[in-house]
Amino acid sequence: MSEIISKIKAIRWQHLVIIMMMALVVAGTEGCKSTGKLSKKERKAQIENAKKQLQSIINGTSTLSYDEQKRVVAEIMDKNYNDPILNEMIIEAQQKLKTALANEQKIKAQKVDVARAALYDLLLNKDEKTADQLERELNAIKAQNLQDSELDELIARLEKKIKDMRTFGAAGSLPVKAQLENSFAAIASAASAGNLSQADATIQKTLQLFSSEDVPVLIIISREGSMVDYDKPTTIKRYLNLIRDTKANRNAIDAIMNDANGKIKGLDLIKK
């Protein structure tokens, strides 16, 4: 009897050992899955997919943005597949992205240079464009979205210039020369009609076109070839007051000099 009981106990112990071994196998399998280990087939498939992604970057046929392509290369590197061909492709793709970035920066620098020159020309407005014309060209530059601090400053200055031009109402959309000629005539006309308050208001508006009320004004008396004779120099404020006091506009505009902000810094007149 005791021998039978001993055999039963031995069978139960062996069964328990088998169950424990099976549990360890299952736990080990789950452990492998949790560490993300791949089968040979899965690893090969992922490597081939990575090669395809890298090849499109190397060929320049990828539809992804620069930042997205850079992320793809980094993710493939992090997988550490340790495949010789893939490693060479990673290096080649990195070099391709480096070259692409350099080209992109070069193209942007060229665009910034062109936009900067255009903005300076618009601020000087030597062609005497209207406010609407200036705004159209400004919007074309802004649409490029070049994100350059110097350009942003020039854009702000040009926007202010356009706004200042429009403070004159409909006349503000005219070229600066036309605005000045109209202002001179308006001051003389208002003074002749005895409306000095209107004349003074026009004088104040006209001064906004100048960098200061002390901007020099030269009046040409005569000109023969390169020989030019000038009247006694004056300032823009004094000249505008002279038009009001004499109730006459006896001079035409010969030349306008602008500063970097597009304000008038010098004015040459010539006797009519």
pLDDT tens digits for range 99-116? 988 988 899 999 999 999
User: Can you say how many angstroms the Cα of residue 99 is from the centroid of all Cα atoms in its chain?
Assistant: 23
pLDDT tens digits for range 225-259? 888 898 999 999 999 999 999 999 999 999 999 88
| Choice between 62 and 15, residue whose per-residue pLDDT is larger | 62
Helices 40-59 and 84-124, axial angle in degrees (round to 10): 30
Stretch (H or E) spanning 200: helix 196-207
| Choice between 200 and 39, residue whose per-residue pLDDT is larger | 200
Which of 16-30, 78-92, 188-202 is the least confident region? 16-30
Query: Contact at 8 Å (CB) between 210 and 258?
Result: no
Answer whether residue 126 shows pLDDT above 80: no
227 CB contacts (<8 Å, ≥6 apart)?
A: none
217 CB contacts (<8 Å, ≥6 apart)?
A: 233, 234, 235, 236, 238, 239, 267, 268, 269
> Residue 31 has what pLDDT?
41
Residue ranges with strand state E in the chain:
216-224, 227-230, 234-235, 251-258, 264-271
Question: Whole-structure pTM over 0.85, yes or no?
Answer: no
> Residue 228 has what pLDDT?
86
Burial of residue 102, with CB atoms counted within 10 A of its CB: 0-12 exposed, 13-18 middle, 19 or more buried: exposed
Query: Contact at 8 Å (CB) between 208 and 167?
Result: yes
3-state class (DSSP) for residue 66: helix
pLDDT tens digits for range 44-86? 899 999 989 989 999 989 999 888 999 999 999 999 888 899 8
